[in-house]
Amino acid sequence: MPELPEVETTRRGIAPHITNRTVTKVTVRDPRLRWPVPRRLSQELAGVKITAVGRRGKYLLLETENGTAILHLGMSGSLRIVDSKQPVGKHDHVDIVFDNNRILRLTDPRRFGTLLWTRRPPKQHKLLRDLGPEPLGPDFTGAYLHARSRGRKVAIKNFIMNGHTVVGIGNIYASEALYMAGIHPKRAAGRISRKKYQLLAEVVREVLNDAIAMGGTSLRDFVNSDGKPGYFRLELNVYGKGGEPCISCRTLIREIRQGQRATFYCPECQR
């Protein structure tokens, strides 16, 4: 479900409610996420203060003085700030309760999400250690993409969706960015010019920033921490628009599969 803009929207939504608040209790109703929620999470978090809510790629980091909770929303996860009167739903797997009687509630129907605990600096954690640069940070440049892709035969769409290349670009924004840059999604990553990569890096930043400004994209069930949807869906150019005319040239948008994921592109504008 969430790509980087949705995760960042979530981070911004929850941070003011829980930063500098102390956890009073953690209720794990169902520990069966992608990996089991560690039993010690409750003891580790209880009584400690959240010092910051960080993000690395699509991982959210609830930082404390004792360690860090590493949280990922997977395909269908969401976090909401609720109070204790809020009825518990079927997929409300974890509650982190705070001293201001607010609850950070993790909902995740498909349970592809992650909630782990580490005492070490989170960047050293196995899941975060080898991640590529942040797309909105200074290390993500056309020169970087160009250098990194030399000799690679992988399709450009798969290349930019790989978290070891760059974090945060999921299936929606990969199609959108390639459309904006005029790059065919099946082009071999190693056969794209430095100049095209410069454009690609720019449009990736643009599309992610715009989506964050709109509160993310809601396709089916994404809601932010207030339970409201995002509105970036209205801005999508190609994603989910197979068979519709390209807004630029009127050629019909094509839908193909790449690695069992849907890809949308304009065969005229993208080469």
Known catalytic residues are: 2-3, 58, 261
Q: Could you say whether residue 218 binds DNA (CB under 7 A)?
A: yes
Which residues are registered as beta bridge partners of 78? 107
Site for DNA in 167-196 (CB under 7 A): 170-172, 189-190
Output the smallest distance, CB 151 to DNA, in A. 7
Q: Could you say whether residue 57 binds DNA (CB under 7 A)?
A: yes
Output the smallest distance, CB 22 to DNA, in A. 29
Output the smallest distance, CB 242 to DNA, in A. 10
Q: Could you say whether residue 13 binds DNA (CB under 7 A)?
A: no
Q: Could you say whether residue 152 binds DNA (CB under 7 A)?
A: yes
Q: Which stretch binds DNA (CB under 7 A): 80-88, 152-160, 193-201, 246-254?
A: 152-160
Output the smallest distance, CB 100 to DNA, in A. 28
**Contact pattern for DNA over residues 58 through 97, marking x by CB under 7 A:** xx------------x-xxx-------------xx------
Contact positions toward DNA, by CB under 7 A? 1-3, 6, 32, 34, 57-59, 72, 74-76, 90-91, 109-112, 126-127, 151-155, 158, 161, 163, 170-172, 189-190, 216-222, 230, 259-262
